[in-house]
Structure 1
Amino acid sequence: MSVLEATETATEGRPRRRLLYAELRLMSGRTRNLVGLAILCAIPIVLAIILAVTRPTGGGDGQAPPFFSILYGNGLFVVLTSLMMEMTIFLPMAVCILAGDSIAGEANVGTLRYLLTAPVGRTRLLSVKFASLVIGAIVGVLAVAVTAAIIGLSLFGAGEMLTLSGTTLSFGESIGRVALVCGYVMAMLVSVCAVALFASTLTEQPIGAAVGTLMWIILHQILTSLDALSWLHPFLQTTYWANWSGLMRDPVEWGGVGVGLLSALAYTLVFGSAAWARFTTKDITS
């Protein structure tokens, strides 16, 4: 189904959820998006195999030291390792690519003007685009987490999980903690969706919106690593991305998690509002 056909189906007196459904169908039907999702899922598999091959075995009796025995006794640690690795570049990049197609992609192929004459108001269209990006980000995190959990549990088992405080959690408790970590990562990616959506309203070139947002994220990561700019760190988008570690302590350190969520909310509101202001006032020529 083409974007025009999908829009006709979704806007002939149908509610907003039908428009969202059409947008999700278009997003999931693009080959490059499916290939990108497959790559995201392949990374945990490769990582788990490498960890299994290089797993320490300890002394001559072939047994690993106690610390490593606990660490490698619960395959859910592969989920945490995979999310930590993919949040450096892969998951943000995936969101940036999706967002590049949201507004700039429609303008580039000449369908944005048609969408707005369908009757679909600009605010409604932008909210649907943002919702589809958020759903895409959630699907990406879930795909990575589920893949990592399956391969991790297959290779390392389902024993107790070692926390960053040195205590251990039962398998049931560790599932809950990992689920909270996934939720935290999703919240960070929602803020990236807002930034990327704003970038997509500034140009008619989807690759420009995607690269621009990705450069924004990389710049923040670089600035975060510079101690000389510690005064700036609280205002950077990526500063709190690693605060999910507080969820893996015993007891949970909610302070850092709360600050991270507030930062993500602030970026979402600011750039979401900027995207709305830009899109509702811009001259649509294509």
Structure 2
Amino acid sequence: MLPGSALLASEIALVFRRRRTWAMLLALAAVPVLVAVAVKLTSGPPTGRGPAFLDRVAGNGLFVAIVGMFMCIPLFLPLTVSVVAGDTVAGEAGHGTLRYLLIAPASRGRLLLVKYLGAALFCLAAALTVAVVGILIGLALFGVGPVTLLSGDTIGLGESFVRIGLIAAYVALSLWGLAAIGLFISTLTDVPVGAMAATAVLSVAAQILGQLPQLDWLHPWLFTHYWLGFSDLLREPILWSSFGQNALLQAGYVLVFGALAYGRLSTKDVLS
């Protein structure tokens, strides 16, 4: 059996070697580019319309990255994560390679951990892609400068980059619960496309439920509840409560669905 570090390196290489992964990252990168080009080619977005901070893009290119995050987090980022997470175990089973990875029963937990870490790393790479491309295209088309926060305070360029990095980390963290759900669903089938679709549908369903006032009692338990809470990172001082609550919620989903995935895979006959 491959040592843990070698197995993890192999999984990371597998995820980022695929053309599909790079195609999804390119699609995510296209979102801030389209935002910037659309604003550049027009007289500017009408005030109060469009995604949050869209009306500030023309004045400061750093807001392209922030607008890109707001546009990607409801659909595009969850969709790409669903593809990666849904393929973790089901993809190996579908290709007949799962049995070779599970030489000993004790390796199942390690395999799930490695598969999840690969999906979690993709979440970070996806969020950073939107952030970095947003900064670069914003710099190229509008220039960058000090950022005026929601609280009315102005921060310098260096701290602005730090805030955008924190936003990318927040978004990646927000997707880790979804990745755990996708990992569990991936253990239920040998058809990767089915696992990908089911994970994506659950993401959309959770967001719809989060918009129904009749289910206010359920909203704090939905893994999507704090997805847009990164706006609290654009205040002075930073309001860390959303970050902490989001981390706690996502950790709960990771533990619960990680345990379910292990329970499923530990009883699944893949060696016969």
Question: Scaled by the length of structure 2, what TM-score is found?
Answer: 0.91
2:121 is matched with 135
Shift of the alpha carbon at 1:283?
1.9
2:158 to 165, 172, 194: 172
2:206 is matched with 220
Q: CA separation in 2, counterparts of 1:55 and 1:162?
A: 21
Unaligned runs of 5+ in 1: 1-10, 59-66
Shift of the alpha carbon at 1:92?
1.0
Residue pair 2:81, 2:179 contacting (<8 A) in 1 also: yes
2:173 is matched with 187
1:174-224: CA deviation from partner (whole Å, max 9, x where unpaired): 111111111111111111111110110111111111111111110110011
2:12 is matched with 24
RMSD: 2.2
- 2:90 partner letter: A
Q: CA separation in 2, counterparts of 1:169 and 1:213?
A: 39
2:73 is matched with 87
C-alpha distance 118-33 of structure 1, shift in aligned 2 (>3 A)? farther
Q: CA separation in 1, counterparts of 2:98 and 2:54?
A: 55
Q: Size of the alignment, in residue pairs? A: 266
1:3 is matched with none
Shift of the alpha carbon at 1:104?
0.5
Q: CA separation in 1, counterparts of 2:170 and 2:56?
A: 25
Shift of the alpha carbon at 1:250?
1.9
2:218 is matched with 232
Deviates more, 1:28-37 or 1:39-48: 28-37
Is the radius of gyration larger for structure 1 or structure 2? 1
Q: CA separation in 1, counterparts of 2:91 and 2:67?
A: 33
Residue pair 1:160, 1:168 contacting (<8 A) in 2 also: yes
1:15 is matched with 3
Unaligned runs of 5+ in 2: 47-52
1:115-157: CA deviation from partner (whole Å, max 9, x where unpaired): 2128981111111111111111111111221111100111121
1:116 is matched with 102
Shift of the alpha carbon at 1:80?
0.9
Q: CA separation in 1, counterparts of 2:197 and 2:147?
A: 38
1:38 to 26, 31, 34: 26
Residue pair 1:70, 1:162 contacting (<8 A) in 2 also: no
Q: CA separation in 1, counterparts of 2:249 and 2:201?
A: 19
Residue pair 1:41, 1:143 contacting (<8 A) in 2 also: yes
Residue pair 1:73, 1:161 contacting (<8 A) in 2 also: no
